[in-house]
Structure 1
Amino acid sequence: MARQTAPDPSRRSEQSRTAILDAAAALVAETGFAKLTIEKIAARAGVGKQTIYRWWPSKGAVVFDAFLAASEDAHGSLGLPETDDLAADLRAVLRPTADELSDPGFDRTGRALVAEVLNDPALLREYRERLLDPLLGVTRTRLEHAREAGRIAPDADLDLAVELLYGPMYYRWLHGLGPLDHAYADRLVQAVLRALGAPEAAGRAG
């Protein structure tokens, strides 16, 4: 007689969590954030409303996790390469950022999240802790190592340099000012490295 295996609660929970995140991502793309509700997410995911509230305090938190999951699937875990070519290393993170910001599928969810984050202090803290601060941190560390190696000016303001790398991209995205492509990302890297006195700024971006 075959031995029966008891259901694994953790596996069932993970399946439910994935279904909820998939449902939230699909619904916000279809209807927009304003018309999204926890009830609609639960119905699409095939779970009870209380299951969602057990893991997330609001629909904004669910959409934020769905956004993070989609971003990780598309670009992998957060990281910055460290090679002898600082410009290439920075392009390796700026180019995928340009790809993401120019993706129509990202645009609707991204703008909804920006609006929600600005009006929800708890979600803003989560956004800072889980997404923005880690991204800025790994970039600053890469620039710090370059400064220690004499690849950029010894008095370079690294915090300002990090803001100069990412700020123009998000400004352009938010205001729809122009294309966000690899060429723009490369020009941005070159401009920042030139301001930091890096030798790479003298060459052309590859």
Structure 2
Amino acid sequence: MVNPGRKRDHSRDADILQATLDVLAETSYADLTIEMVAVRAGAGRGTIYRRWTSKDELILAAVACADQAGPEAGKLPDTGALRSDLLAMLDPDWLGSSERRLRILASLTAMMSRTPDAFAAINRAIVEPSVAAYQHLIQRAVDRGEFAKSADVAALAQLIPAMATYRALFLQQPVDLPFFFSMIDGVLLPALPAPS
């Protein structure tokens, strides 16, 4: 008879992922080790390796988890107007302070340069969920008549996530509230066609 073993206890996952971000912000991608994360989280290395098979996988899971902890744990706001929906989505504390955020994103940039599959993984973990959220909000605004049905919802949904990714990962500049306000009020909303 096969013994299935103990059922995995995922109650420590949040602590481990938070510890990963903490260590990443204090060191760098190159310096972070599973051992450092295990010590910070008060978990065994085996516990971590049973959930994530590599350092890269662990880092991506930590960043993705932080990205999904938005308004009301993933529930998209519905204020009745696109601008206020977009503003309600903003999280100025995503990944922590501006300095901490830049250090973590610098590590992701280093990871992309050293790991061939990292760019696609970062896109899946961070960019695609953001694009999907923006697409939902914009389409809902079009459906309720705020904007013309001719709006290119798919393209416009990519605008803020693409610019935020470029700014953070390549320019190494903060993705902060002034940036989001300029993108929402200066680019996205003016690009949407008025209802006829």
2:44 aligns with one of 29, 42, 48? 48
For residue 164 of structure 1, give the secondary structure of its aligned residue in structure 2. helix
Alpha-carbon distance, 1:183 to partner: 3.7
In structure 1, the partner of 2:56 is: 60
Regions of 4+ moved over 6 Å = none
In structure 2, the partner of 1:154 is: 149
The answer to whether the aligner puts 1:78 opposite 2:59 as a matched pair is no
Residues 149, 115 of structure 1: alpha-carbon distance in 2 compared, 3 angstrom cutoff: same
Kindly report which structure 2 residues correspond to 1:1-206, keeping only aligned pairs within 5 A, or say none: 13-14=9-10, 16-71=12-67, 76-93=72-89, 95-96=90-91, 100=94, 103-117=98-112, 119-120=114-115, 123-174=118-169, 175-176=171-172, 180-190=175-185, 191-198=187-194
For residue 150 of structure 2, give the secondary structure of its aligned residue in structure 1. coil
* Worse-superposed segment, 183-192 or 157-166: 183-192
CA–CA separation in structure 2 for the residues paired with 1:119 and 1:155 = 42
**Structure whose residues are more often helix by fraction:** 1
CA–CA separation in structure 2 for the residues paired with 1:164 and 1:69 = 22
Q: Are the equivalent residues in 1 in contact too, given 2:19–2:40 (CA < 8 A)?
A: yes
CA–CA separation in structure 2 for the residues paired with 1:154 and 1:72 = 29
Structure index of larger Rg: 1
Task: Specify the code of the residue in structure 1 equivalent to 2:188.
Answer: V
Q: Are the equivalent residues in 2 in contact too, given 1:21–1:65 (CA < 8 A)?
A: yes
Question: Structure 2: which 5+ runs fail to align?
Answer: 1-5
Q: Percent identity?
A: 30
Q: Are the equivalent residues in 1 in contact too, given 2:16–2:41 (CA < 8 A)?
A: yes
Q: CA RMSD in A?
A: 3.1
Residues 67, 49 of structure 1: alpha-carbon distance in 2 compared, 3 angstrom cutoff: same
Return the TM-score normalized by structure 1: 0.71
Return the TM-score normalized by structure 2: 0.74
Task: Specify the code of the residue in structure 2 equivalent to 1:85.
Answer: A
CA–CA separation in structure 1 for the residues paired with 2:150 and 2:50 = 49
CA–CA separation in structure 2 for the residues paired with 1:83 and 1:18 = 30
1:36-84: per-residue Cα shift (whole Å, max 9, x none)? 1123323443443332211101112212223344455575423432233
* Worse-superposed segment, 115-124 or 39-48: 115-124
CA–CA separation in structure 2 for the residues paired with 1:81 and 1:22 = 25
Residues 122, 183 of structure 1: alpha-carbon distance in 2 compared, 3 angstrom cutoff: closer
Q: Size of the alignment, in residue pairs?
A: 187
1:122-151: per-residue Cα shift (whole Å, max 9, x none)? 555554444332221121122112223332
